[in-house]
């Protein structure tokens, strides 16, 4: 194979992908069988099988037990707006994540004390094993699961204070900035790092995805005078949502 030449299975997958994109193979249409692909493209069974695997991993097709492989309905991506922290006025965590006054969001959450693993400890600037409050969220838009979030706050900062539990107490449901301000911790910076990876099985189970689907992962950390006071992983299904940033110029 010369430089720049694609393997046969990728060429076959690319042609079938184009047919799906341009509507030649519309949603709910059965994908050509392995034998049909072999004959039409003049390739081996192995190549035909690998091409089908590529399309399945990309989420373009899905297998139906006892029936075959079909083109999936392609959702129109919706935006999840990001606007950083909000120094003025209270906002629920979901409002902070969506930053959209028309949001129809609800969420479920649970908090528990935990020990910081190595990765979380590094992000929070603490030692592995130190105690943190871990809160897990499942966000819904009009009833549809659309985002997961797991946050960690050092109990050295929030322990034995009225804001120790993010969703309970007098400031329960408020954003990190407002809660921290209530205990005289002034958040003055936030960072977000965006990446993508295949979704974990437990994530896709909650978000309604299928194995192989890609998710966007936002690692967010709030700082007060250089000290990390909260960090979180936000997980969003990439086939249904896109992340839009709204940044102000000061």
Q: Rounded mean pLDDT of 19-27?
A: 92
> Is 154 a residue whose pLDDT tops 50?
yes
Q: According to the model, what pLDDT value does residue 92 have? A: 45
pLDDT value of residue 81: 75
Higher pLDDT, 94 or 49: 49
Q: Is the pLDDT of residue 2 over 50?
A: no
**How much is the mean pLDDT over the chain?**
87
Mean pLDDT lowest among 55-59, 70-74, 89-93, 116-120:
89-93
pLDDT of 87 reads 47
* 202: three-class secondary structure by DSSP: helix
Residue pair 221/190 in contact (Cβ under 8 Å)? The answer is yes
Same fold, 8-71 and 78-245: no
Give the whole-number percent of the chain exceeding pLDDT 70: 87
- Provide the pLDDT for residue 137: 95
Is a pLDDT exceeding 50 seen at residue 206? yes
Among candidate residues 137, 134, 133, 132, the one with its CA nearest the CA of residue 109:
137
* 132 touches 154 (CB < 8 A): yes
In which band, very low, low, confident or very high, does the pLDDT at 187 lie, cut at 50, 70 and 90? very high
Q: What is the DSSP letter of 25?
A: S
Mean local confidence (pLDDT), 23-29: 93
The CATH number of the domain covering residues in 78-245 = 3.40.1410.10
Rounded to a whole number of angstroms, the CA Rg of the chain reads: 23
Q: Does the 8-71 domain belong in CATH 1.10.760.10?
A: no
Q: Look at residue 99 in the predicted model and tell me its pLDDT.
A: 46
Looking at the predicted structure, is the pLDDT value of residue 162 above 50?
yes
Tell me how far apart the alpha carbons of residues 213 and 75 are, in angstroms, rounded to a whole number. Answer: 13
Indicate the helix (H) or strand (E) that contains 155. Answer: helix 155-158
Lowest-confidence segment of 13-17, 31-35, 100-104 by average pLDDT? 100-104
pLDDT band at 115 (very low <50, low <70, confident <90, very high): very high
DSSP SS3 for 36: helix
Q: Which among 42-51, 55-64, 235-244 has the top mean pLDDT?
A: 42-51
**Domain coordinates of the chain in residue numbers?**
8-71, 78-245
**71-110 tens-digit pLDDT:** 988 777 777 877 655 545 544 445 555 445 455 678 899 9
CA distance to 109, 123, 151, 219, 231, per residue, from 100 (Å) = 20, 28, 21, 20, 22
Residue scoring higher pLDDT (114 or 1): 114
If pLDDT is split at 50, 70 and 90, which confidence band does 249 have?
low
In this predicted structure, which of 82-91, 164-173, 188-197, 232-241 has the lowest mean pLDDT?
A: 82-91
Q: From 65, 8, 57, 66, select the one nearest 37 (Cα to Cα).
A: 8
């Amino acid at each position: 194979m010369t430089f720049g030449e694609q393997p046969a299975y990728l060429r076959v997958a690319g042609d079938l992908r184009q047919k799906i994109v341009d509507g030649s193979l519309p949603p709910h249409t059965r994908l050509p069988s392995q034998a049909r692909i072999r004959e039409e493209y003049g390739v081996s069974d192995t190549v035909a099988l690998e091409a089908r695997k590529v399309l399945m991993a990309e989420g373009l097709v899905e297998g139906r037990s006892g029936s075959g492989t079909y083109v999936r309905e392609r959702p129109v991506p919706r935006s999840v707006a990001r606007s950083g922290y909000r120094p003025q006025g209270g906002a629920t965590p979901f409002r902070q994540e969506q930053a959209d006054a028309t949001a129809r969001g609800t969420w479920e959450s649970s908090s528990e004390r935990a020990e910081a693993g190595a990765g979380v400890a590094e992000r929070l600037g603490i030692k592995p094993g130190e105690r943190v409050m871990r809160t897990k969220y499942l966000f819904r838009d009009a009833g549809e699961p659309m985002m997961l979030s797991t946050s960690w706050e050092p109990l050295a900062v929030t322990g034995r204070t009225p804001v120790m539990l993010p969703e309970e107490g007098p400031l329960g449901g408020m954003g990190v900035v407002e809660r921290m301000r209530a205990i005289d911790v002034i958040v003055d910076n936030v960072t977000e790092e965006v990446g993508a990876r295949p979704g974990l099985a437990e994530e896709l189970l909650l978000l309604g995805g299928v194995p192989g689907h890609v998710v966007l992962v936002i690692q967010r950390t709030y700082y007060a005078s250089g000290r990390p006071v909260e960090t979180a992983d936000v997980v969003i299904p990439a086939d249904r949502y896109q992340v839009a940033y709204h940044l102000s110029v000061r």
